[in-house]
Amino acid sequence: MDKKSIGISGLAAYTPPFRVWLEDWCDWTGNQWPKIREVVGRSFRVRGRNQSVYTMAATAVIRLIDQYDIDPARVKFLGLGTESSTDNSAGAIIVKGMVDQALVAKGKQPIARSCEVPEFKHACLGGVYGMKNAIRHLALDGAGGQAIVVCADIAEYARGSSGEPTQGAGAVAMLLEENPKLVEVDLVQSGSASDYRIMDFRKPMMRFCGQDRSEGHQVQDFPVFNGKYSTTCYIDETIHALNDMYEKRGLKASEYLRSLKTVFMHRPYRRMPETGWAVAYLFALGNGSPEDRAELASFCYEAGVEPEALLAEMSSKPEIALLADPERLNYEAYPLTMAVFRIFRASRRYRREILDKLALGSDTMLDLGNLYTAALPAWIAAGFEQAADENLDMAGEELLTLGYGSGDAAEVIPFIVADSWREATAAIRFGQSMEFAVDINEAQYDALHGGRRPPNLDYLPSNEFVIDKVGRTDERQFQDLGIEYYKYVS
């Protein structure tokens, strides 16, 4: 049986309007703007009082349906990838309910009643897992139909924490089908990796105990995390997922990485994907030809590291979970590699092999912050729009995508650009989704962050879903305590 070509035909996004400029945030908090700009980005978005992960997801889905003129009756799979859900029972069905109501109000048919509605959770990787399952659905019992996967999240951190400048909120919806118009997703050639990492970015339910929602609709979802340890986990799992792909495809790592023109990765902040991809390149040199190892040795000598010691470290199999110890002062699994990386980062080759391959869409991403599950599809959307603006010839090109979820898992998946990618890109409107922004001051940010009504901030939503009210009845004959009720504001 011939292999079906299945992939992504469209993308649509929603970002809340409330924007915090990181330069302003540095003034409020006493942080160093040059460092924040270099490591993190320029700005991030904050969700409004009447917004939740479900309202943002539904807004992205209704935009996708409108922008690509989708027949809702053909949609037999609606998946939600998120780590910000606030209901431990329902998930994607909430999104479907909102979208159906808005479609009917517009005089359109609702999404098919026979549509599957799963939710996927694994930190920032939930959206990628949703995409993979949608493709499997389309290859088997859902053949001939269409699937939508929406990635939506709210990244928020406690005031004063190291994660605070990396906040963000938004949603990206993907249309998947046979004979895709944007990219074919090649799961057969992909690579996977997973390993339990104990305290690498967790969200135990105990955090919610005792929260007061009397003044607003928000549940504060601040994660338990350890920044340096999480960086080590990201790097290690990236390497293992790539190795799985190399072995499946019989690839020479250094040759393959050099052949790529464009790479999209999970991006919690500006520096993380740069570091992850650079370390992957150094590992490829260590497993490469004599010429590759000579290149690696040149960085070693400048870093004061013995090449043989570095190769021994690269071939080791460190137990990352053993680093999850409060008595440890160093969370580095590959200290020699990181020392060489810092030298490599200052070289000209770093620009060609790392930054140039991560360039498409990267400037737009400086104004998004961390979108968790939506970070990777958002970068892909921004990248395709930049490629179209620059009139690049991408048809038939292999792009590499890498999704990552703390806890700890990674997926490396090749995309093959379709001949019709320009037409599909024209309908994304990602830049347009970010055009409207309301810049907020410190007092307004503090209120929104805490779920309170912000002072002097009058915003009227338009063409989006909002929380209308939250149920408070807890009686024997009727209960709706904590249930969100939604409406579509046209």
Average pLDDT, the chain: 94
* The pLDDT of residue 227: 74
Residues in the chain: 490
Pick from 451, 439, 270: which is nearest to 370 by CA? 270
* The pLDDT of residue 330: 67
Report the share of the chain in percent with pLDDT over 70: 97
pLDDT in tens, 105-155: 999 999 999 999 999 999 999 999 999 999 999 999 999 999 999 999 999
pLDDT range class, residue 434, cuts 50, 70, 90 = very high
Alpha carbons 17 and 76: distance in angstroms, whole number = 31
Are the C-beta atoms of 170 and 267 separated by less than 8 Å?
Answer: no
pLDDT in tens, 73-93: 999 999 999 999 989 899 999
Least confident among 11-20, 49-58, 313-322, 427-436 = 313-322
pLDDT range class, residue 200, cuts 50, 70, 90 = confident
Average pLDDT over residues 229-238: 89
pLDDT range class, residue 451, cuts 50, 70, 90 = confident
Cα pseudo-dihedral 384, 385, 386, 387, rounded to 10: 50
* The pLDDT of residue 98: 98
Average pLDDT over residues 33-43: 97
Q: What is the DSSP letter of 474?
A: B
Residue of higher predicted confidence among 204 and 426: 426
Angle, vertex CA 220, rays to CA 216 and CA 222, nearest 5: 165
Would you call 138 helix, strand, or coil by DSSP? Answer: helix
Asked whether residue 331 carries a pLDDT value surpassing 60, the answer given is: yes
* The pLDDT of residue 329: 58
Alpha-carbon separation of residue 183 from 143, 241, 394, 399 (angstroms): 18, 21, 10, 9
Strand order in the sheet with 43-46: 43-46, 18-21, 438-439
Asked whether residue 48 carries a pLDDT value surpassing 70, the answer given is: yes
pLDDT in tens, 373-385: 999 999 999 999 9
* The pLDDT of residue 202: 82
Alpha carbons 97 and 252: distance in angstroms, whole number = 48
Least confident among 72-86, 99-113, 202-216, 262-276 = 202-216
Asked whether residue 159 carries a pLDDT value surpassing 90, the answer given is: yes
Average pLDDT over residues 333-361: 96
Are the C-beta atoms of 145 and 138 separated by less than 8 Å?
Answer: yes
Where b means 16+ CB within 10 Å and e means fewer, 164-202 reads bbbbbbbbbbbbbbbebbbbbbbbeebbbbbbebbbbbe
Alpha-carbon separation of residue 257 from 246, 277, 315, 384 (angstroms): 10, 10, 19, 20
Q: What is the DSSP letter of 441?
A: -
Alpha carbons 348 and 135: distance in angstroms, whole number = 40
The CATH H-level superfamily of 1-490 is Thiolase/Chalcone synthase (3.40.47.10)
Pick from 389, 470, 397, 385: which is nearest to 433 by CA? 385
Amino acid residing at 186: D
Amino acid residing at 161: S
Average pLDDT over residues 355-367: 98
Name the burial class of residue 466, with classes exposed (0-12), middle (13-18) and buried (19+) by CB atoms within 10 angstroms of its CB.
Answer: middle
Alpha-carbon separation of residue 169 from 66, 244, 339, 364, 381 (angstroms): 22, 32, 34, 15, 16
Alpha carbons 351 and 394: distance in angstroms, whole number = 21
pLDDT range class, residue 1, cuts 50, 70, 90 = very low
Strands 398-405 and 409-417: antiparallel
Q: What is the DSSP letter of 453?
A: P
Amino acid residing at 393: D
Extents of the domains making up the chain: 1-490
Question: Which residues, at least 6 apart from 481, have a Cβ–Cβ distance to it below 8 Å?
Answer: 471, 472, 473, 474
Alpha carbons 170 and 370: distance in angstroms, whole number = 9
DSSP string, 72-123: GGGEEEEEEE-S----SS-SHHHHHHHHHHHHHHTT-PPSPTT-B--EE-BT
Asked whether residue 182 carries a pLDDT value surpassing 80, the answer given is: yes
CA 400 to chain centre: 15
Q: Which helix (H) or strand (E) holds 386?
A: helix 375-389
Alpha carbons 25 and 357: distance in angstroms, whole number = 30
Alpha carbons 16 and 60: distance in angstroms, whole number = 11
* The pLDDT of residue 29: 97
pLDDT range class, residue 328, cuts 50, 70, 90 = low
pLDDT range class, residue 42, cuts 50, 70, 90 = very high
pLDDT range class, residue 231, cuts 50, 70, 90 = confident
Pick from 321, 155, 122: which is nearest to 223 by CA? 155
